[in-house]
Amino acid sequence: MEKIKEQIRLLFDISEEEANIFLAEFKKKELQKNEFFLTEGEVCNQVGLIEKGLMVCVYNKNGDEIIDEFGFEHSFISNYYSFLTETPSLKEIRCLEPTTLHVINRHGLETLGKKYAFIEKMSRLMNEKLFLRAHNRVKSLLLDTATERYEQLITQRQDLAQRIPQYMLASYLHVKPETISRIRRKIRNQTLLT
């Protein structure tokens, strides 16, 4: 939990005392591989903070899975749209690995927000970060090549290539699995030439 606390302090520029107040409302939860944090059709009433493990957010369309995002150590996980609008989730969130996370429900978060002014600042910063991440993802999908998107993902999280099946990486990057194979081959060949 100390690593998470430090990450929260850096992410939101809050004191150790504020981080302790915020994290005290979270409850530890253990989920197994393939277990759901959120099912499609359920209203999302909780936010998780992943201590250990890997999760995936998936839309299901005509029997195909479309990967929206991954959640990994020291990151928040939720269907923020469903959480804000209190409408049924169009996606599911499930574990790709056994996962330890800390969860706070809507009521707990609202209670904290009414009691402590710094929570409002954290909420604003989180909204800004979520907007910027969504903007960058859309921009990348529209303007970057498949190779550029793959390289950006691997640069940000080198371990994901080993932890996530190739078909899921392909879905996330909006390419076919064989494209990932070609990209990896190309990168390997370039590395051998240098």
Domain-embedded: residue 86: yes
Tokens of 47: 């936010």
**Residue at 153 is within a domain:** no
pLDDT of residue 194: 60
63: its two tokens: 């029997």
**51 three-class SS:** strand
The backbone torsions φ and ψ at residue 13, rounded to the nearest 5 degrees and listed phi first, read 55, 55
Asked if 70 and 159 touch (Cβ cutoff 8 Å), the reply is: no
Residue 1 has pLDDT above 80, yes or no: no
The answer to whether residue 34 is domain-embedded is yes
Q: Is residue 76 part of a domain?
A: yes
- Whether residue 132 lies inside any domain: the answer is no
Which CATH number characterizes residue 93's domain?
2.60.120.10
With 0.85 as the threshold, say if the pTM is over it. yes
Q: How many CB atoms lie within 10 A of CB 165?
A: 10
Q: How far apart are CA 64 and CA 148, in angstroms?
A: 25
CA-CA-CA-CA torsion sign (100, 2, 162, 134): positive
Token pair of 170 as six digits: 């392909």
Looking at the domain assignment, is residue 137 inside a domain? no
Q: For 60, left (φ over 0), alpha (ψ -120 to 50), or beta? A: beta
Across 5-9, 84-88, 184-188, the highest mean pLDDT is recorded for 84-88
Which whole number is the average pLDDT over 171-182?
Answer: 92
Asked whether residue 149 is assigned to any structural domain, the reply reads: no
Count of domains observed in the chain = 1
Enclosing domain of residue 113: 2-117
Give the SS3 label for residue 105.
strand
Answer whether residue 48 is part of any domain. Answer: yes
Angle at 113 between CA 111 and CA 118, to 5 degrees: 145
Share of the chain above pLDDT 90, in %: 74
The whole-number average pLDDT for the span 63-91 is: 94
